[in-house]
């Protein structure tokens, strides 16, 4: 959405909920028959895990904002939360979902379109193979779009049939392992609350906090309506010196703990939580900071965060392992141990010895659990795209499905 806004006549980025609420309440007095607006927002922040209001779509539709449509990015939300689209009047006009983030494989996604908004996608002037019934290539430039269904007009080129077939199997295995998204939501909400409670009480011997956790005032860990199972933080030495997030990720990776670090493809979140103004970001760029090759900090201010995400297969032991790692291997790092190299990211940590994780007073190592499923091959009819559409309609509680 940030990139696509370059094609819009005007655009605005709301800083907080209050700005959104004021915008909805005040509406607009200017209506153009040809003017179309798009209000796009994530169901869950991919940085802090904070979940935004599901009521905005319906309220915008009922407001005086004219032809303003809504797009919900549910990629992060749908991984650990039920997605209820059973009421078309309350649902967004467009919903994007990543099956990769839900199942791991297949790596495909979906755009769920409210039928009343489908006409907006029929106005494009270009086309790709498979979306037309007739085309004149020589002596003219005419073509006729397929009219059997909206998705037939939008699915350019060859569809990823193998991934679509695999999606059917992924849904089956997911249901057998976890039974429902509601159960996953409850499980991950508990783990997120347990992790947050442990992290916020981590301190150095001198009383200073080991971590700086980034949260919203509206967030409440343990409440899946307001907060997802994601926590973002930065780590500091007892002297208050930043330990670069990229290096924390490398240390954790060496111990089989998989977290993410950096700006998380979230420029708005980084600017808001780390306090970067547009001028600050330009200065950081001039100093050499890049999305693909970030500096560890700019004048002591971090350029990214450490992000921990919990999912359906996460356990309490996973949380304990992470906390033990931070206590046993990170809290003892001193400012003098941090040495810069020529690479923008900190590459070396001097005087640091690797030790085993402490858990319940014993030296242990993380274990990995592998689930192997014996799958029965289904008929082509059961694996068809239309069959998957009906199953996805049930998975996301979409209203009555018609081809």
Is residue 265 flagged as an active site residue?
A: yes
Residues 6+ apart with CB under 8 A from 221: 189, 192, 193, 196, 197, 227
Q: Which of 224, 222, 244, 219 is nearest to 234 (CA)?
A: 244
Tokens representing 21 are 């609420």
Cβ distance 110 to 72 under 8 Å? no
User: Which of 61, 57, 88, 87 shows the shortest CA–CA distance to 72?
Assistant: 57
In degrees and rounded to multiples of 5, residue 258 shows phi and psi of -110, 110
Buried b (16+ CB within 10 A) or exposed e, 298-316: beeebbbbbbbbbbbebee
The answer to whether 288 touches 298, Cβ cutoff 8 Å, is no
Nearest Cα to Cα of residue 235 among 215, 255, 214: 214
Report the alpha-carbon distance of residue 65 to residue 60 in Å, rounded. 7
User: What does the buried/exposed string (b/e) look like for 281-291 if buried means 16 or more CB atoms within 10 Å of the residue's CB?
Assistant: beebeeeebee
CB 224 within 8 A of CB 77: no
Alpha helices (H) along 265-364: 267-273, 278-286, 316-325
CA distances (Å), 120 to each of 96, 116, 117, 173, in order? 16, 9, 6, 36
Give the tokens for residue 333.
């790092």
In sequence order, which residues have a C-beta less than 8 Å from that of residue 209 and are 6 or more positions away?
Answer: 202, 203, 236
Q: Is 196 exposed, middle or buried (0-12, 13-18, 19+ CB in 10 A)?
A: buried
CB 261 within 8 A of CB 308: no
Q: Which residue in 13, 123, 265, 291 is the catalytic one? A: 265
Supply the residues annotated as catalytic.
Answer: 265
């Amino acid at each position: 959405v940030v990139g696509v806004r370059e094609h819009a006549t005007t655009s605005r980025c709301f800083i907080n909920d209050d700005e959104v609420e004021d915008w909805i309440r005040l509406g607009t007095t200017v209506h153009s028959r040809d003017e179309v607006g798009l209000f796009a927002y994530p169901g869950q922040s991919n940085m802090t895990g904070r979940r935004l209001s599901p009521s905005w779509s319906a309220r915008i539709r009922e407001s005086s904002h004219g032809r303003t449509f809504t797009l919900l990015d549910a990629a992060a939300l749908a991984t650990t939360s039920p997605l209820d689209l059973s009421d078309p009047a309350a649902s967004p006009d467009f919903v994007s979902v990543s099956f990769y983030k839900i199942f791991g494989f297949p790596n495909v996604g979906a755009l769920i379109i409210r039928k009343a908004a489908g006409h907006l996608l029929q106005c494009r002037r270009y086309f790709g193979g498979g979306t037309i019934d007739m085309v004149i290539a020589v002596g003219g430039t005419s073509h006729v779009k397929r009219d059997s269904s909206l998705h037939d007009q939008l699915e350019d080129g060859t569809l990823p049939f193998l991934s679509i077939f695999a999606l059917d199997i992924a849904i089956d295995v997911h249901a057998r392992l976890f039974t429902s998204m509601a159960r996953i939501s409850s499980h991950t909400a508990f783990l997120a609350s347990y992790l947050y409670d442990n992290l916020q009480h981590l301190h150095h011997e001198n009383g200073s906090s080991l971590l700086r956790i980034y949260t919203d005032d509206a967030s409440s860990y343990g409440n899946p309506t307001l907060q997802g199972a994601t926590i973002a933080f930065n780590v500091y030495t007892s002297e208050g010196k930043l330990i670069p997030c990229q290096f924390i990720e490398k240390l954790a990776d060496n111990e089989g703990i998989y977290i993410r670090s950096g700006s998380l493809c979230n420029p708005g979140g980084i600017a808001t939580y780390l306090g970067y103004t547009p001028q600050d970001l330009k200065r950081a760029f001039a100093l050499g900071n890049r999305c693909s090759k970030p500096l560890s900090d700019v004048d002591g201010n971090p350029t990214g965060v450490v992000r921990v995400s919990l999912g359906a297969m996460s356990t309490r032991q996973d949380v304990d392992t992470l906390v033990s790692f931070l206590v046993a291997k990170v809290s003892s790092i001193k400012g003098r141990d941090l040495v810069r190299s020529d690479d923008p990211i900190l590459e070396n940590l001097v005087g640091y010895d690797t030790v085993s994780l402490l858990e319940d007073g014993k030296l242990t190592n993380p274990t990995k659990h592998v689930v192997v499923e014996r799958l029965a091959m289904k008929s082509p009819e059961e694996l068809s795209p239309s069959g998957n559409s009906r199953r996805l309609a049930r998975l996301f509680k979409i209203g009555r499905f018609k081809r």
